[in-house]
C-alpha cells in the first residue's frame, strides 16, 4: 500500500491513483491499448511519477493484478455470503452474490485479470502469473466450503472441491465474455443460473428452494 505522509495525506497517493486508473482503464480498453499517457491522464499524474513507481508498463500490469487480488479479496471476504451455517448454503450464496453484482456497465462488473490474461498470456509471463494468482487464489477461498458441503451432504463423485471451485471461475469468466460480445449482462447471469442448477444437482437438492 501507499505511504501517506503526515503533513500531506494526498502525497504518496500517485501509486494508488495509478493502480485505480489501471483497473478502470484496462477493463475498458484492454492492457495494450491503454497507453502510459492514458493512465497518467486518468490518475492526474505525470509520466515522471509513473516511471518512478513502476519500472515499466509491464510492472504496472503486474502491480495492477496484485492490487486487484487484494481489493477483490477484501471485497469478497467482507461479502455477506459467509453467514449461512450450512456450507452448501454458503456456496450457493456465493453464486447468488456473484450473480447480483453483475450490473451496470460491462467494464464495471467484468474481471480485470481475466481480461489481461487473454491479452498477454503468451507475451508477458509476469503479468500472466500475477493474474493466475488472483484467479486461482480466489477459487481457493471457495474450496473449504465446497469440501465441507461434500462431507455434510455425504456426496461422492469423481470430482474434487478444487476442480469445482475452478469450474465456477470458468463459468463466471466465460459469462463475462458473452456479456461483452452481446453487450448484455444477462448473458453472464444466465450462465451463473446454469451453474447454480448444476451445483444443486451435484448435492441432490431440489430445483427450486
Partner DNA sequence: TACAGCATACCAACCATATGGTATGATTCA
Partner DNA sequence: TGAATCATACCATATGGTTGGTATGCTGTA
| Binding site residues, DNA, CB under 7 A | 2-8, 11-15, 34-38, 45-49, 51-53, 55-58
Give, rounded to a whole angstrom, the gap between the first and last alpha carbons of the chain: 43
Least distance from C-beta 29 to a second copy, angstroms?
A: 6
User: Which residues fall within 8 angstroms of residue 89, CB to CB, at 6 or more apart?
Assistant: none
- Of 44 and 129, nearer to a second copy (C-beta) is 129
What does 49 bind: a second copy, DNA, none (CB cut-off 5 to 8 Å by kind)? DNA
Q: Which three cell numbers stand for residue 76?
A: 469478497
Binding site for a second copy (CB under 8 A): 28-30, 32-33, 106-107, 113-115, 117-123, 128, 131-132, 135-136, 157-159, 163-164, 166-167, 169-175, 177-178, 180-183, 187-188, 190-191, 193-194, 197-198, 201-202, 207
Alpha helix stretches (DSSP H) within 121-160: 125-152
**Cβ–Cβ < 8 Å for 203, 149:** yes
Q: Pick the closest to residue 87 from 137, 143, 156 (CA basis).
A: 143
The burial of 179, by beta-carbon neighbours within 10 Å (0-12 exposed, 13-18 middle, 19 or more buried), is given as buried
The residue with cell 453464486 is 95
- Of 45 and 171, nearer to a second copy (C-beta) is 171
What does 107 bind: DNA, a second copy, none (CB cut-off 5 to 8 Å by kind)? a second copy
Least distance from C-beta 196 to a second copy, angstroms?
A: 11
- Of 11 and 194, nearer to DNA (C-beta) is 11
Determine how many CB atoms are found less than 10 A away from the CB of residue 12: 14
What does 30 bind: a second copy, DNA, none (CB cut-off 5 to 8 Å by kind)? a second copy
What does 14 bind: DNA, a second copy, none (CB cut-off 5 to 8 Å by kind)? DNA
Using left for φ > 0, alpha for ψ between -120 and 50, and beta otherwise, residue 2 falls in beta
C-alpha distances in Å from residue 82, one per residue of 18, 75, 196, 199: 32, 12, 17, 17
What does 120 bind: a second copy, DNA, none (CB cut-off 5 to 8 Å by kind)? a second copy
- Of 3 and 156, nearer to DNA (C-beta) is 3
Amino acid at each position: 500500500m501507499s505511504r501517506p505522509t503526515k503533513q500531506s495525506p494526498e502525497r504518496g497517493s500517485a501509486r494508488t491513483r495509478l493502480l485505480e486508473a489501471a483497473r478502470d482503464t484496462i477493463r475498458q480498453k484492454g492492457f495494450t491499448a491503454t497507453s502510459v499517457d492514458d493512465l497518467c491522464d486518468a490518475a492526474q499524474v505525470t509520466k515522471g511519477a509513473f516511471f518512478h513507481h513502476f519500472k515499466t508498463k509491464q510492472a504496472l500490469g503486474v502491480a495492477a493484478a496484485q492490487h486487484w487480488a487484494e481489493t477483490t479479496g477484501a471485497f469478497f471476504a467482507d461479502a455477506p455470503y459467509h453467514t449461512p451455517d450450512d456450507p452448501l448454503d454458503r456456496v450457493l450464496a456465493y453464486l447468488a452474490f456473484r450473480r447480483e453484482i453483475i450490473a451496470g456497465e460491462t467494464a464495471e462488473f467484468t474481471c480485470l485479470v481475466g481480461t489481461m490474461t487473454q491479452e498477454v498470456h503468451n507475451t508477458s509471463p509476469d503479468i500472466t502469473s500475477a493474474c493466475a494468482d488472483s484467479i486461482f487464489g480466489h477459487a481457493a477461498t471457495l474450496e473449504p466450503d465446497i469440501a465441507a458441503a461434500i462431507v455434510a451432504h455425504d456426496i461422492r463423485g469423481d470430482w474434487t472441491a478444487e476442480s469445482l471451485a475452478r469450474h465456477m471461475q470458468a463459468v463466471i469468466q466465460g459469462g463475462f465474455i458473452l456479456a461483452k460480445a452481446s453487450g448484455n449482462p444477462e448473458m453472464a447471469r444466465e450462465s451463473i443460473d446454469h451453474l447454480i442448477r448444476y451445483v444443486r444437482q451435484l448435492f441432490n437438492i431440489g430445483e427450486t428452494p
